[in-house]
Amino acid sequence: MSKVDVEKAHPESPSEESERDWAELHPDLLMVIFRKVGMRDVLLHASKVCSSWRSTARDDPILWRRIDTLTGIQDFPDMSKLRGEERKAAEASYTRTVTEMTKIAADWGGNCVEQLLIGEYCEDDLLDYVAERARNLKSLSVIDRNIFRNIESMANALGRLNKLEELRIVRCKIPLGTIMKVIGLACPQLKRLKFIFPNFSGKSITQEGISTRLGIPNTMFQLQYLQLVFTRTTTDELMKILERCPNLEMLDLRSSTVEVKNDDIRIRSSKIHTLILPDDMLSQARDQYDDYYGDIYKINPLII
């Protein structure tokens, strides 16, 4: 019996043929698929299909240029609907999953990683882990008050990310003035700096412990965009911002308790292209600055 006759007599089952076809997809086609589905689906599903898929994902650092722990978050349990031990278990499971995914992405991306967005439910050591492997990181967004546990952990992580050009912090336990000093020393190339400290509890800003005298270091000459939402500053501090940030193009002070009249701010900041004052509603500037604030709107609509 010839080889052809054997193949006709024993055809491959549909499942075997399907498995073979998926494994033999060209790497270029796989990369198109991977970039469409995103980090979460690649790490949790696609990379586990077969060894060739995993190798393709692992060996292309460009795929991990942006690491976003929030993409696909809607597919996980809604924590607000859970209570007690059930919620604790769900949070612990989700935290482990997100942390493991992000660490793998950092391992595979290495110094090609340029953007990192860390949401809630990440383990404390995650930023240190990524900072050790992604030394060329240019953009960092932190949406979890537990990531920066103390000033030492912040200084340790940011000290290895001296190429940062953009830093966004939403909620943090460390006083703002202390943060500013650390950032000024650790990130001399910083161009965009965003702080948002949402007051979810209904207490005053001072009661929340996030109000502090603002210290602008002498090293922030590259800063172009500065956003201080739900913070407290004085006239002198605003003057330091204007003096020590000569390239500032945008200053956002919405919902901040600035101790100076708005007319005075306008006069002193006449060279700033875009000035958003404390009494401007958060929603008023959304359309105009949607690109700049896009991540924050997606993360938490309560602060719009």
- Residue 162 lies in domain: 64-303
Q: Is there a domain that residue 30 lies in?
A: no
Tell me the pTM.
0.75
Q: Is there a domain that residue 157 lies in?
A: yes
Q: Is there a domain that residue 45 lies in?
A: no
Percentage of the chain beyond pLDDT 90 is 15
What is the token pair recorded at 145?
């008050």
Confidence at residue 112, expressed as pLDDT on a 0 to 100 scale: 92
Q: Is there a domain that residue 31 lies in?
A: no
DSSP, residue by residue, 182-210? HHHHH-TT--EEEEE---TTS--HHHHT-
- Whole-number Å distance between alpha carbons of 103 and 123: 11
Q: Is there a domain that residue 164 lies in?
A: yes
Does position 106 have pLDDT exceeding 60, yes or no? yes
Helix (H) or strand (E) holding 168: strand 166-170
Confidence at residue 72, expressed as pLDDT on a 0 to 100 scale: 54
User: Which 3 state secondary structure label does DSSP give 277?
Assistant: coil
- Whole-number Å distance between alpha carbons of 52 and 158: 36
Q: Is there a domain that residue 43 lies in?
A: no
- Whole-number Å distance between alpha carbons of 269 and 142: 29
Number of independent structural domains in the chain: 1
CATH number of the domain to which 210 belongs = 3.80.10
Q: Is there a domain that residue 195 lies in?
A: yes
* For range 7-23, the mean pLDDT: 54
Does position 264 have pLDDT exceeding 50, yes or no? yes
Phi, psi of 252 (to 5 degrees): -115, 115
Confidence at residue 265, expressed as pLDDT on a 0 to 100 scale: 65
Residues 6+ apart with CB under 8 A from 159: 186
Give the residues across from 259 on adjacent strands.
234
What is the token pair recorded at 265?
């701010």
Q: Which amino acid is at 69?
A: T
Which of residues 250 and 143 earns the better pLDDT score?
A: 250
Q: Is there a domain that residue 265 lies in?
A: yes
Instruction: Report which of 107, 126, 128 is spatially closest to residue 118, judged by C-alpha positions.
Output: 126
* For range 51-62, the mean pLDDT: 86
Which of residues 143 and 265 earns the better pLDDT score?
A: 143
- Whole-number Å distance between alpha carbons of 224 and 214: 18
Digit-coded pLDDT (tens) for 187-238: 889 999 998 875 444 343 333 333 445 666 666 788 999 998 877 777 777 7
What is the token pair recorded at 133?
């492997």
